[in-house]
Amino acid sequence: MSFETPDFSLALPEIWLLGAICVVLIVDLFVRGSRRSVTFFLTQAVLLVTAALAITTQWGVTETTFSGHYVVDPLAAMLKATLALLVVLALAYTRPYLEARGLLQGEVYLLALFATLGMLIIASGGSLLTLYLGLEMLSLSLYALVAYHRDSRQAAEAAMKYFVLGALASGILLYGMSMVYGGAASLELAVIAEAAASEEPPLLLLFGMSFMLVGVAFKLGAAPFHAWVPDVYQGAPTPVTLFISTAPKVAAVALFLRLLVDGLGPLHETLQPMLLILAAVSLLLGNLTAIMQTNLKRMLAYSGIAHAGFIVLALAAGTEAGHAAALFYVIAYGIMAAGAFGLIIVLSSAGTEAEQIADYRGLNERHPILAGVLLLLMISMTGIPGTIGFYAKYLVLKAAVEADLIAMAVLAVIAAVIGAFYYLRVLKVAYFDRPEVPPEGSQKPTGPNEGSVGEGEGATPSRPDGAAGTVLVPGASLPIRALLVVNGAAVLVLGIFPERLIALCQSVLGAG
């Protein structure tokens, strides 16, 4: 067996990131001070350089190295830059929240960096081995991040559920990979694609594909593999929730594109019915259950499941336009989710969590700018024209109709209309409801449908008190609020001028 020295320069973004992580780790060990400014700014700089490296060294290159385990193509370059920038956005929100709760330690940033490295590896995965390596690197960091607030019972419970279910999903994915390896006799996705494209593909491939789909659907949070989503979104510290709902979702789509399009794309006809079931269940379950939520984080979790349904629908179309629509959708969702959870972070101060929808009563009178951001984010998630959410849904539906999935497209529209109810309800609370002022010296009034839903599902124990009279005081500093406003404005600007991002998504997936 001959040994060939791999071309290291192709993997420059990952190599840079790993080296930089080691430096950040050591610097963080020796830096004093509780604000972790050095770690924070170093982390952000490292991520920005990673994004720049991905664009400069990998854009326009199509090659493989490390014996085919590592793929460089425009899709990888674009995914890496997007992932790194989304992580920058997500981490920018973290500091005030964590500092107010005594959780601000360098490890948050290190774990986020390791998770980012895992996601970059997924984006460039050319074999089952690399993809699994990246996925585990991402998942293990996320488990630790969810459990980060270790004195919080909710966070511990969420992390436990996430870890057990995540390990199970990884196991199932790995089982599917072993089947595919058995069927194709290779770990390399290019070889697997050849085996899958043969006249009679081995049954093992189909078998393995179903199992791998379960693993990918779990990471994407698509129903019926969504059980972890609500608890983790609600239980994790809000900055961690924000992080989980942005870049790792993009990584999950990347995982799908690599594993089930690059690898097993020729078997799409068999895969499509399964994807359609996933999409239908996610759309209905996500939107219908979100209606009943009183906790905003939990509601956004169910809304995330519904969005996952749209993404799966786009992937089910199986065309290049569909893949591009999924990519665009997940990036749009990342920006919207970052804004929504960022708003919760901004409105939470030490001691209060702005997570009950009832807490937002009268937000418009007290903080009109923040209410405006909430308005933008909610109508964007609904999919009203003029916002990025509209184009995301539009592209998905267009791809679905072009692939003759008209019934599914109709279902998706109906689900989106159902979804409009709970998004608009948040706006109604923020704009038209009077804030309740708790009577002096008596117990705080409890909202009419307070806290019963979460427990009814056997979910996380409810929060200590019904804080339905809490007057929200923004705890975040001015730069973070400004960032939130920029984030909200981005939803609008990208909604008015989406062409470049859409064209980019289409060009990297070969759908000109």
Partner 1 sequence: MLENYLPVLMFIIVGLVFGALPLIAGFVLGPRRPHPEKQAPYECGFEAFEDSRMKFDVRYYLVALLFILFDLEIAFLFPWAVVLEDIGLFGIAAMGLFVGLLVIGLLYEWQKGALEWE
- Can residue 22 be called a binding residue for partner 1 (CB under 8 A)? yes
Helix (H, G, I), strand (E, B) or coil at 200: coil
- Can residue 3 be called a binding residue for partner 1 (CB under 8 A)? yes
Q: Residue 477's closest CA among 350, 352, 364?
A: 350
Which is closer to partner 1, CB of 3 or CB of 151?
Answer: 3
- Can residue 458 be called a binding residue for partner 1 (CB under 8 A)? no
Helix (H, G, I), strand (E, B) or coil at 6: coil
Which is closer to partner 1, CB of 26 or CB of 410?
Answer: 26
- Can residue 29 be called a binding residue for partner 1 (CB under 8 A)? yes
Question: Which two tokens mark 58?
Answer: 């990998």
Give CA 346 to chain center in angstroms: 20
| Amino acid in position 461 | P
Select from 26, 61, 203, 350 the one that contacts partner 1 (CB under 8 A).
26
Which region among 25-33, 90-98, 160-168, 408-416 touches partner 1 (by CB under 8 A)?
25-33
Helix (H, G, I), strand (E, B) or coil at 82: helix
Q: CA torsion angle for 274, 243, 86, 119 (degrees, to 10)?
A: -60
Q: Which of residues 262-301 bind partner 1 (CB under 8 A)?
A: none
Which is closer to partner 1, CB of 25 or CB of 49?
Answer: 25
CB of 22 to partner 1, least distance (A): 5
CB of 123 to partner 1, least distance (A): 22
User: What residue has token string 């989503």?
Assistant: 229
- Distance, in Å, from the CA atom of 322 to the CA atom of 320, rounded to the nearest integer, reads 5
Cβ atoms of 388 and 494 within 8 Å: the answer is yes
Which is closer to partner 1, CB of 5 or CB of 442?
Answer: 5
- Can residue 25 be called a binding residue for partner 1 (CB under 8 A)? yes
Binding-residue pattern over the window 97 to 136 for partner 1, x denoting contact by CB under 8 A? ----------------------------------------
Which region among 22-30, 89-97, 336-344, 397-405 touches partner 1 (by CB under 8 A)?
22-30
CB of 117 to partner 1, least distance (A): 12
Which is closer to partner 1, CB of 108 or CB of 345?
Answer: 108
CB of 13 to partner 1, least distance (A): 17
Size of the site for partner 1 (CB under 8 A): 7
Element (H, E) at 422: helix 406-432
Which region among 24-32, 40-48, 166-174, 273-281 touches partner 1 (by CB under 8 A)?
24-32
Helix (H, G, I), strand (E, B) or coil at 67: coil
Select from 2, 9, 30, 441 the one that contacts partner 1 (CB under 8 A).
30
Cβ atoms of 208 and 177 within 8 Å: the answer is yes
| Amino acid in position 78 | M
Q: Residue 252's closest CA among 374, 134, 153?
A: 134
- Can residue 2 be called a binding residue for partner 1 (CB under 8 A)? no
Q: How many CA atoms lie within 13 A of 163 on its CB side?
A: 14
Cβ atoms of 245 and 307 within 8 Å: the answer is no
- Distance, in Å, from the CA atom of 123 to the CA atom of 324, rounded to the nearest integer, reads 15
Angle at 456 between CA 450 and CA 458, to 5 degrees: 125
Which region among 20-28, 245-253, 423-431, 446-454 touches partner 1 (by CB under 8 A)?
20-28
Question: Which two tokens mark 312?
Answer: 């799966």
- Can residue 512 be called a binding residue for partner 1 (CB under 8 A)? no
Which is closer to partner 1, CB of 159 or CB of 399?
Answer: 159
CB of 156 to partner 1, least distance (A): 15
* Cα first-last separation, the chain: 42
Question: Which two tokens mark 86?
Answer: 């989304």
- Can residue 27 be called a binding residue for partner 1 (CB under 8 A)? no
- Can residue 5 be called a binding residue for partner 1 (CB under 8 A)? yes
Q: Which residues lie near partner 1 (CB under 8 A)?
A: 3, 5, 22, 25-26, 29-30
